[in-house]
Amino acid sequence: MNIVVTGAGKGIGKETVIELADKGHKVFALSRNIYSSDFPEHLQKNISILPFDLTKKDFTPLTELIKDSFNKIDGLINNAGVLIAKPFMEFTEKDFDYLFNVNVKAPFRLIQALSPMMSKNSHILNISSIGGFQGSVKFPGLSLYSAGKGALSILTESLAEELKEKDIRVNALALGATQTEMLEKAFPGYKAPLSAHKMAQFISYFILNGHHFFNGKILPVSLSTP
């Protein structure tokens, strides 16, 4: 399969790229800061990398490069995300725009740009958060992050209907506590029950198989909150 992964330079995204490449799939890995040396040498033949900022206005160079690498796309994992942690009254409009541009608008734009290249029975997987899952525990300082992930979840449900006629399935995983730099930023000193590698194993399985069982679903993947 040919799979595009955003936020692939570190953490869960990087580990997911490694898992998929190790299974023999072709992966196009996107991140603002990413290098071939980030990945094991024996897997680099299966990985195409592109340093790209998803807040850029023009996605044309990105889509053209992907077309040059892949004749079709079987999977898209919208994993890229940012977090700003501060009390609600201290958030600025700049904070709001940045969080929603990366966490909501970038997946929206990427899906628009890449869905014409997607094969039948392809799978779009949006990586949401248990913090954006309705009814979950919420935490002070994470209001905008949670709101953005909640918006991504609703977008997922809507796109499953929009793309149904093209036989493209769309799902979201609402991830719980996983040991990453982002978690450390949100909850300093907290030790998560899952490593980025372990969560990546599940994500790589789900992008390959989940669309045979689910469409338009927001699935919590969480041992703890946080």
The pLDDT score that the predictor gives to residue 96 is 98
Region 212-225: what's the mean pLDDT? 94
Q: What is the pLDDT of residue 8?
A: 97
**Whole-prediction pTM value?**
0.95
Q: Which residue has the higher pLDDT, 119 or 15?
A: 15
Catalytic hit among 35, 98, 145, 190: 145
Q: Are 196 and 148 in contact (CB under 8 A)?
A: no
Is the residue at 176 inside a domain? yes
- State the average pLDDT over residues 69-82: 95
35 among known catalytic residues = no
| Per-residue confidence (pLDDT) for residue 106, from 0 to 100 | 96
CB burial string 11-20: b at 16+ within 10 A, e below? bbbbbbbbbb
| Mean pLDDT, residues 39-61 | 93
In a domain, 57, yes or no: yes
Residue 18's domain is classified under what CATH number? Answer: 3.40.50.720
- Which two three-digit tokens encode residue 205? 């399985």
Domain that holds residue 66: 2-221
Residue 134 resides in a domain: yes
Q: Among candidates 26, 191, 201, which has minimal Cα distance to 119?
A: 26
Domain tally for the chain?
1
Q: Is 95 among the domain residues? A: yes
- Residues 13-18 have a mean pLDDT of 98
| Residue 159 covered by a domain | yes
pLDDT of 150-203, one tens digit each?
999 999 999 999 999 999 999 999 999 899 988 898 899 999 999 999 999 999
Q: Provide, rounded to the nearest whole percent, the portion of the chain with pLDDT above 90.
A: 88
Task: Give the closest residue to 127 by CA, choosing from 1, 15, 32, 2.
Answer: 15
Q: Is residue 133 part of a domain?
A: yes
Cα–Cα distance between 223 and 220 in angstroms, integer?
9
For residue 226, is it within any domain?
no
Mean pLDDT of 54-76: 91
Residue 182 host element (H or E): helix 181-186
